[in-house]
Amino acid sequence: MKKDKTNNFDVIIVGTGPSGIFAALTLAEKGRHVLMLEKGLELKNRVCLKKDGWCRNCRPCSVLNGWGGAGAFSDGKLTLTTGFGGVLQDYVGEERTIKLIELVDSIFLSYGAPKKLYGTEEKVIKKLRRQAATAELQLKPALIRHLGTENCYKILARMKASLEEKVQINFRSTVRQIIAENGRVKGVVLENGEAYYAPYVICGPGREGALWLYEEAKRLGLKISSNPVDIGVRVEIPAGVMEHITSKVYESKFIYYSPSFDDKVRTFCMSPHGEVVIENSEGVVTVNGHSYWEKERQTENTNFALLVSKNFTEPFDEPVRYGRNIASLANMLGGGVLVQRLGDLLAGRRSTHERLRRGLVRPTLKEATPGDLSLVLPYRYLCSILEMMKALDVVAPGVYSRHTLLYGVEVKFYSQRLELTPYLETGIKNLFAIGDGAGITRGLVQASASGIHVGEEINRRFNRESGLL
């Protein structure tokens, strides 16, 4: 690691998730003096310390924090489209976003990403879209490159190895505040009171840091708008139920508008032959899914999220807190994640260990507590999810089986958007916000793309200041 005796740098990057890493790669290529600050641990030290299957509520959670961010232990799906995965195109334009996505993909390939692409069979996709339309579902096709959880880890390790001799990376360094004077950023202050200074600061705190960024934005007087609140469940079914879809497109993005409330419901993060996992966001336990590239590590189940996107009107302006409160109800009732058979939910009863044992789907998240999700999720969310599952059953018979498992709650903490320029610059000069935590991206590719975009802009400004432009 490149050390520096002073606390002065060219650029400070808050967070070492994909957005921060790709910003650092872009800046290091031009020799910028960069400091990366991460409240979590190095990749090799990111070990979940849960005991007997139970989350120990570590602060910070090593599943979500550390080198690579929450994506380090995801199954690494690279969604190579502007159709979903964020709204970066709203800021930088469609053409620029496409070029950035292509660049992100090429960089992942250079660090060892598998060459196989899903979603290339046009005839299959056309047939699936026609089937989906009969159930009032919209299938949004995309090219998908699946890294696999194990490959994601290896690629991130290679990226760190390429950066650690070029930039300074400080772990266990939680940023408390951003320093700004006279409308210009000056640096950051850590929780321990230590200050670092730079003319440019990039905030890429990820979903885990979304609430911190929201609070800082309010303190600094930055303009914020709310994204839809995404709350739902993770569905687990036998892998064969969706094999005809996942074997061809891997990540099937279905969108549905519920008849009862006209709420948007979407599938998210499909994990074929995967496993359901827990995440701990500042003491609030939620659920997610992983899948592996190696056959021997794959399971007999497939899981995916069903998320209801709800826009709220003024005076409501705290979508992250709302999502955390919903998830906290599940934690209160079950000590963590709840799991319920669909049949039990429809029958108005809680699931039990005995009922789960009689089921045809064996839960991959063993520590989930059998319970009743109707005591957690608001009625309109639950109603919209069930209507979506009925529609999916038309495309993939077996989804709406009484043996299907529902885990709750799944919440995506990226529900605020800072007012940013096309360079992703805030109202404070040279303070940039990138990635999921800023509410502009929702996945690895667009988060990485936002890092490159800001890195290139800072390089241009340095060149302009030095007279090279």
What's the confidence (pLDDT) of residue 3? Answer: 42
Q: Does 88 have pLDDT greater than 80?
A: yes
Q: Does 172 have pLDDT greater than 60?
A: yes
* pLDDT confidence bin for 217, thresholds 50/70/90: very high
Average per-residue pLDDT for the chain: 91
Token couple for 36: 């990366």
Q: pLDDT tens, 270-311?
A: 999 999 998 887 788 899 998 887 788 899 999 999 999 887
Neighbours of 84 (CB within 10 A): 17
3-state secondary structure 318-361: CHHHHHHHHHHHHHHHHCCCEEEEHHHHHCCCCCCHHHHHHCCC
Domain with CATH 3.50.50.60 in the chain: 11-117+145-225+417-465
Q: Does 5 have pLDDT greater than 60?
A: no
Which of 70-79, 204-213, 422-431 has the largest mean confidence? 422-431
Q: pLDDT tens, 101-114?
A: 999 999 999 999 99
Q: pLDDT tens, 242-261?
A: 999 998 888 889 999 999 99
Q: Are 431 and 11 in contact (CB under 8 A)?
A: no
Domain 11-117+145-225+417-465: CATH architecture, name and number where available? 3-Layer(bba) Sandwich (3.50)
When mean pLDDT is compared across 46-60, 131-145, 301-315, 401-415, the lowest value belongs to 46-60
Q: Does 228 have pLDDT greater than 90?
A: no
What's the confidence (pLDDT) of residue 413? Answer: 66
Question: What are 229's strand-pairing partners?
Answer: 310
* pLDDT, average across residues 382-394: 98
* Phi, psi dihedrals of residue 9, rounded to the nearest 5°: -140, 170
Of 442, 434, 467, 443, which is closest to residue 11 (Cα–Cα)?
434
Look at residue 413 and give its three-state secondary structure: coil
pTM recorded for the entire structure: 0.84
